[in-house]
Amino acid sequence: GQNIDQPTEMTATEGAIVQINCTYQTSGFNGLFWYQQHAGEAPTFLSYNVLDGLEEKGRFSSFLSRSKGYSYLLLKELQMKDSASYLCAARRSNDYKLSFGAGTTVTVRA
């Protein structure tokens, strides 16, 4: 099986930076995805990492360390609309399904 852990909740101030950590124990690891999910809505794709390093997309960046089984999602210049749940998901080689963590609820305060 897979074990994916991320913090339950985080709070930050508008304009600040927040880093959401995710650790995984996935045999045959083949990719780490981050999704954003607003309450009552579908998860929307944010980023994908399969090699070690940092992927940057505007205000959002994602980092992966395969040797440590660790990823983080960095949200910069926080806006109120960034208040949402952030889901970390891992995929195995030759297996197309995603295994999700429970999600991290980020609350952005004015």
Partner 1 sequence: DTGVSQNPRHKITKRGQNVTFRCDPISEHNRLYWYRQTLGQGPEFLTYFQNEAQLEKSRLLSDRFSAERPKGSFSTLEIQRTEQGDSAMYLCASSQGTSPTDTQYFGPGTRLTVL
Residues 6+ apart with CB under 8 A from 24: 2, 3, 4, 5, 32, 69, 70, 71, 88, 90
Closest to partner 1 by CB, 18 vs 22, is: 22
Tell me the closest approach of the beta carbon of residue 45 to partner 1, in angstroms: 5
Pairing mode of beta strands 53-57, 70-75: unpaired
Closest to partner 1 by CB, 19 vs 44, is: 44
Tell me the closest approach of the beta carbon of residue 55 to partner 1, in angstroms: 11
Closest to partner 1 by CB, 16 vs 61, is: 61
Q: How many CB atoms lie within 10 A of CB 88?
A: 27
Interacting residues with partner 1 (CB under 8 A) = 4, 31, 33, 35, 40-45, 48, 50, 87, 89, 96-103
Tell me the closest approach of the beta carbon of residue 14 to partner 1, in angstroms: 25
Closest to partner 1 by CB, 15 vs 28, is: 28
Q: Quick check: 73 and 47 in contact, CB under 8 A? A: yes
